[in-house]
Amino acid sequence: KTPIYLACENGNNNVVKYLIECKAKINITDNDYKTPLYISCEKGNNTSVKYLLDNGAEDDINKITNDKMTPLLIACKNGHEEVV
């Protein structure tokens, strides 16, 4: 897991923003093909989702994980209406 992935996983928006400003690679997946965008959607973290989408993660919006989920699907499944 990358630092930006971990920051998204832990809901640390300041670190997510800082890493994006430092040009962190935001489209890298973990072993389950989950991206930082996916994790932010899964956790319902609107702020990180916005940072990521505003900085190039839109390519990840349709990436499918090993569980056959996308960021949008996991946000819906977990009831994160604001993220959706």
| Domains along the chain with CATH numbers | 3-77 (1.25.40.20)
Per-residue confidence band for 83, with pLDDT thresholds at 50, 70 and 90: very high
The model's confidence at residue 60, banded by pLDDT at 50, 70 and 90, is confident
The span from the CA of 60 to the CA of 70, in Å, is 8
Report yes or no on whether pTM surpasses 0.85. Answer: yes
What is the mean predicted confidence (pLDDT) over 16-21?
A: 97
**Residue 19: per-residue pLDDT:** 97
